[in-house]
Every structure is written in structure tokens, then in C-alpha cells.
């Protein structure tokens, strides 16, 4: 008789716990919170899939964590050994390594020269017009500095004239 009572007590406890959980999950606030958490997990999973497989840099080798978040780079920077880690990555993966979601580290002198070459291959966009200096008088035209000219020929002419004047000034003093 005592064993039956103990078993019944266990069943009562389990059924009470299940009914409490069902009641708890049945509330509107809990469903909303659960939905928000599931949507956040789903969204982050989609972001990870995009960064790892669909992003333009997805075909570059590097740590998978680095392709998803910059926290990897922040950790190695905080520990003061990012440069050693990047050197090891180049030994492991080759001259071009992905070290962040939008960051690539290149250890090839020809590639660096191609990326950072000057000239007319990559003209300036209208983005630079946002940096024009404004004047106190609103009707006065906005002033451009040498760096803000989008036309390379105008930029080079102004830069040459300023460089010549600077050379003249520095040789006279």
C-alpha cells in the first residue's frame, strides 16, 4: 500500500509540474518572449550562413569565427598577439587571409601594389563632396581642398602647384 502511495505521489508531482509549465508557456508574455528569442537565433543563424557561404569574401581562407565576428580580432588585439596570429595564419592559409567579416590581410607585395596603386584606375566618387568646407556666409560657395577634387587632372595640377610653392618656401628658409 505504501509503495502505491509513493508512486501516486510521484505521478501527482509530475502532473503538477507539467500543468505549471503548460500554464507558464501558455501566457501571452511568454509566447512573445519565446518568439523573440527564436527569431533572434534564426536571424543570427542566417547571418552566419551568409558570412560563411554567400558573402563575397566567403571563398577566402581564414578562421571561421573571424568570418562571422570581429570579436576574434578584438580578442587577439587585447592579448597583444594579433600580429603573431596573422603571421601564423599566412603560413597556414597562404598570402591572402580573411581576418574579419569584411577584413582581409594580404602578405603579397604584388597584390598590395595592385590594391593601393594610385592613378586613374579608381576615380573618386561623389562621396568626397561631403567633406567640403563650409563658410560662415551661407550664400558663399563651398570651398574645396586639393583632396576633394574628383577630376584627377585638376587634383594633380593643384597638387603640383602647391608642391612647387612648398619647395620654394622650404629652400628659402
For the stretch 153-164, pLDDT in tens is 777 788 888 787
pLDDT above 60: residue 137:
no
Contact yes or no for 57/104 (Cβ under 8 A) = yes
- DSSP states of 133-172 as a string? BP-SSTTSPPB--GGG-SSHHHHHHHHHHHHHHHHHHHHH
For residue 41, report the phi and psi dihedrals to the nearest 5 degrees. Answer: -65, -45
Confidence tier at 6 by pLDDT (50, 70, 90): very low
94: left (phi over 0), alpha (psi -120 to 50) or beta: left
Pairwise pLDDT comparison (171 vs 74), residue with the higher score = 74
The ranges assigned to domains in the chain are 21-54, 57-117, 124-173
Q: Give pLDDT, residue 2.
A: 44
pLDDT per residue as tens digits for the range 36-89: 888 888 899 999 999 999 999 999 999 999 999 999 999 999 999 999 999 999
Q: Give pLDDT, residue 161.
A: 82
The pTM (predicted TM-score) of the whole model is: 0.55
SS3 of residue 54 by DSSP: helix
- Of 106-115, 129-138, 147-156, least confident by mean pLDDT is 129-138
Amino acid at each position: 500500500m505504501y509503495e502505491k502511495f509513493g508512486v501516486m505521489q510521484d505521478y501527482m508531482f509530475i502532473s503538477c509540474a507539467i500543468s505549471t509549465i503548460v500554464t507558464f508557456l501558455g501566457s501571452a508574455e511568454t509566447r512573445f518572449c519565446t518568439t523573440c528569442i527564436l527569431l533572434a537565433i534564426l536571424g543570427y543563424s542566417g547571418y552566419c550562413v551568409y558570412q560563411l557561404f554567400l558573402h563575397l569574401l566567403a571563398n577566402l581562407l581564414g578562421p571561421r569565427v573571424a568570418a562571422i565576428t570581429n570579436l576574434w580580432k578584438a580578442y587577439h588585439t587585447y592579448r597583444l598577439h594579433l600580429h603573431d596570429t596573422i603571421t601564423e595564419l599566412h603560413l597556414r592559409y597562404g598570402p591572402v587571409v580573411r581576418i574579419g567579416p569584411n577584413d582581409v590581410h594580404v602578405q603579397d607585395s604584388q597584390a598590395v601594389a595592385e590594391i593601393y596603386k594610385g592613378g586613374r584606375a579608381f576615380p573618386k566618387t561623389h562621396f568626397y563632396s561631403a567633406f567640403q568646407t563650409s563658410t560662415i556666409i551661407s550664400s558663399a560657395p563651398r570651398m574645396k581642398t586639393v583632396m576633394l577634387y574628383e577630376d584627377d587632372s585638376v587634383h594633380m595640377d593643384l597638387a603640383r602647384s602647391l608642391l612647387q610653392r612648398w619647395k620654394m618656401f622650404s629652400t628659402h628658409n
